[in-house]
Amino acid sequence: MTPLEVEARAKQGEYVEQKKFDLERVSRRVAELEKEYSITYDPACPVATDPGLGKAVFEAGFTLAADTGLYIVEESRVAKFTVEELREALTSAPRELLLGRGLDTRVLKSRLPGDTLRPFVFGGLAGTPVPEEYFYPSALSYAVEPLVDALDHGSIQEVSGVRVRAGAPSEAVAGVRELLSLRRALRDAGRPGMHLLAAESSVSSTASLAAIASGLLVTGDAHLLPVLNELKADYAQLTKAEVGLENGIIGAALVDPIVGGFARGPAGSAIVAVAETLLALAAYRAGYVLIHPTHIVKKATSAPECMWVQSAVGLANEHLRLPLVGDIWPAFGLGTHEYLYEIAANTIVASAYGLHLLGPVPANGTAPNGGGLEARFMAEVGHAIAEQGVKPASVCDLVRELLKRYEERLKSPDPGKPFWEAYNVKTGRPGREWLEMVYSVSRELREYGVSLPSLG
């Protein structure tokens, strides 16, 4: 199956009004599957602890993908996939990928819950709007961190005084400038071959296609292919997928069910996440998958409901066996203690349940209020959990303890201060005040048995 074949199939598919698709094909079916497979969320614990849950979530997600299919927005029609096609897409998906080039090549392979394999670390502001003048130094601050394996940085919103518009020349220029800044940052960090997940300025497909056409996004790199909420795709994403496959660019599928939306609660969102993962393999031929549940009110992936979804998908990965990446998107930002507690809690869950790590992305991705030091903090927490071979369900108490320090304020978080107020913009290194705060929270984590070698 190729994206071109998906387009052809969509044109012949059943016409369904979008509202009917959302309410009946997705939401109602998800509710039925929750009951059929006895998948429930227990708010008493922010992680899934039932060992049988992984199989149930996998099977319910597979059934949803096969029953519902992928809604193609422009056609208002559904592209359906048979059980055999979904099984084939899953079987043929890569379990191990070489990311980047030369000395900077890294291996991204499937992890499982309780795995002692260190999680792969994607650092960067991942799509957050960053002013062009600060794009290079903030990218540099992540690239110089030794534990960062790959870069997924922000987006550029204004080029030469023109606000970037989807599908317009401004988007193409933003994509090219983003990649030029990233390449410069990688060269200056002495890691020119590091894997890039870009162009994050690509809202439609234009910036991504411009970056590929300019030779700036190349074999060994990846671009983002979101599955639209819920179980939907559009021609921009299918175009990116098609062109990417023809040019050796890896498709990084973004699976971001909205918890409280059409995916229903955490239980339904876990089912939807598995279904969307399978559809991304079938329609986009994705290489790896980012798991990013978003709460309809609290937004952050550090909300207990979202961490539960990540943990449930991690358990389901026993049956998928894919390289899954947990997005770490806190609500707070640079200069706040809560930001660090959120990173710690979310990272402990992701790492213990077999996900790789991406972020941390502060302020719910709305402001460039973070830098490379926090990526190191996230990496060291993730590595510590993996190296200890922590049993996934055993993290429940620790995560609950950390939640006490930020959960109540998730609905009105302090976004913190911008990168350039806490970091040296020439070197990309953090200032003393922020460093001290990170040391202080690291010492607290050590008391809970999570030791961070360079920070604690």
Partner 1 sequence: MQEVGFRFERGEYFLPELMISAEIFNAVMQRYILPVLTKEQSGEYKGRVVIGTVRGDIHDIGKNLVAVMLRIDGFEVIDLGVDVSPERFVEAVREYRPDIVGMSALLTTTMLEMRNVIEALRAAGLRDSVKVIVGGAPVTLEFAREIGADAYARDAVEAVTVCRELVKGKRKV
User: Does 43 engage in binding with partner 1 (CB under 8 A)?
Assistant: yes
Q: Which of residues 8-27 bind partner 1 (CB under 8 A)?
A: 22-23, 27
CA distances from 242 to 237, 238, 246, 249 (A): 9, 6, 6, 10
Q: What is the DSSP letter of 319?
A: H
What gap in Å lies between CA 22 and CA 29, rounded to an integer?
A: 10
Closest approach of partner 1 to the CB of residue 210, in Å: 14
User: Does 52 engage in binding with partner 1 (CB under 8 A)?
Assistant: no
Closest approach of partner 1 to the CB of residue 129, in Å: 6
Q: Contact, 302 vs 336, CB < 8 A?
A: no
User: Does 165 engage in binding with partner 1 (CB under 8 A)?
Assistant: yes
Query: Vertex 200, ends 194 and 206: CA angle to 5°?
Result: 115
Q: Contact, 451 vs 384, CB < 8 A?
A: yes
Closest approach of partner 1 to the CB of residue 260, in Å: 5
Which lies closer to partner 1 via its Cβ, residue 234 or residue 318?
Answer: 234
Binding mask 252-271 for partner 1 (x = CB under 8 A): ------x-xxx-xx--x---
Binding mask 392-411 for partner 1 (x = CB under 8 A): --------------------
Q: Report whether the peptide linkage leading into residue 60 is cis, meaning its omega lies within 30 degrees of zero.
A: no
* Residue 295, both tokens: 């709460």
Which lies closer to partner 1 via its Cβ, residue 174 or residue 373?
Answer: 174
Q: Contact, 68 vs 25, CB < 8 A?
A: yes
Which lies closer to partner 1 via its Cβ, residue 76 or residue 451?
Answer: 76
What is the CB neighbour count within 10 angstroms for residue 107? 13
Closest approach of partner 1 to the CB of residue 170, in Å: 8
Closest approach of partner 1 to the CB of residue 452, in Å: 32
According to DSSP, the β-strands at 356-359 and 324-327 are: parallel
Q: Which of residues 137-156 bind partner 1 (CB under 8 A)?
A: 155
HEC sequence for 270-314: HHHHHHHHHHHHHHHCCCEEEECCEECCCECCCCHHHHHHHHHHH
When binding is defined by CB under 8 A, the residue of 94, 114, 129, 193 that contacts partner 1 is: 129
User: Does 166 engage in binding with partner 1 (CB under 8 A)?
Assistant: yes
Q: Contact, 311 vs 324, CB < 8 A?
A: no
When binding is defined by CB under 8 A, the residue of 75, 234, 318, 414 that contacts partner 1 is: 234
Closest approach of partner 1 to the CB of residue 157, in Å: 5
Q: Which of residues 76-115 bind partner 1 (CB under 8 A)?
A: none
Contacts of 215 (CB under 8 A, 6+ apart): none
Q: Residue numbers of the site for partner 1 (CB under 8 A)?
A: 22-23, 27-28, 43, 73, 129, 155, 157, 163-167, 171, 203, 228-229, 234, 258, 260-262, 264-265, 268, 296-297, 305, 366
